[in-house]
């Protein structure tokens, strides 16, 4: 899905917390599709898909100025929080992997 599609869906659904959850679900489902498309479900491929999803969310966050339609702030770590609530084991492994990466990686 293209960034403009995420933004249009978010705004089209009222720029509400519920609309944000829809965006998060779509971004997370993109991770699942990317992992399923690969024959080998290695940690490196899963982590790369999660890194890409986090970048997508960051881009989305900045595109909507980090705010809901009513002006309240969206938490900048909303994707990470969503992942932690939906897949805590994967989130834990991903965050550990990210901490082990050399600076600049």
Q: Walk along the chain (105 residues) and give the pLDDT tens digit of each residue.
A: 899 999 999 999 999 999 999 999 999 988 887 777 766 667 888 899 999 999 999 999 999 999 999 999 999 999 999 999 998 998 999 999 888 765 544
> Which structure tokens are listed for 27?
């971004």
> Which structure tokens are listed for 44?
């490196």
- pTM for the predicted model, two decimal places: 0.85
Give Cα 60 distance to the centre of its chain: 9
Dihedrals phi, psi of 80, to nearest 5 degrees: -65, -40
- The predicted-structure confidence for 77-94, as pLDDT tens digits, reads as follows 999 999 999 989 989 999
Tell me if 22 sits within 8 A of 10, measured CB to CB.
yes
């Amino acid at each position: 899905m293209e960034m403009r599609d995420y933004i249009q869906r978010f705004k089209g659904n009222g720029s509400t917390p519920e609309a944000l959850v829809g965006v998060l679900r779509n971004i997370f489902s993109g991770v699942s599709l990317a992992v399923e498309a690969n024959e080998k479900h290695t940690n490196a491929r899963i982590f790369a898909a999660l890194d890409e999803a986090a970048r997508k969310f960051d881009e989305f966050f900045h595109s909507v100025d980090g705010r809901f339609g009513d002006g309240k702030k969206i938490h900048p770590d909303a994707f990470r929080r969503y992942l932690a609530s939906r897949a805590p084991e994967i989130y834990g492994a991903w965050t550990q992997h990210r901490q082990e990466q050399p600076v600049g990686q």
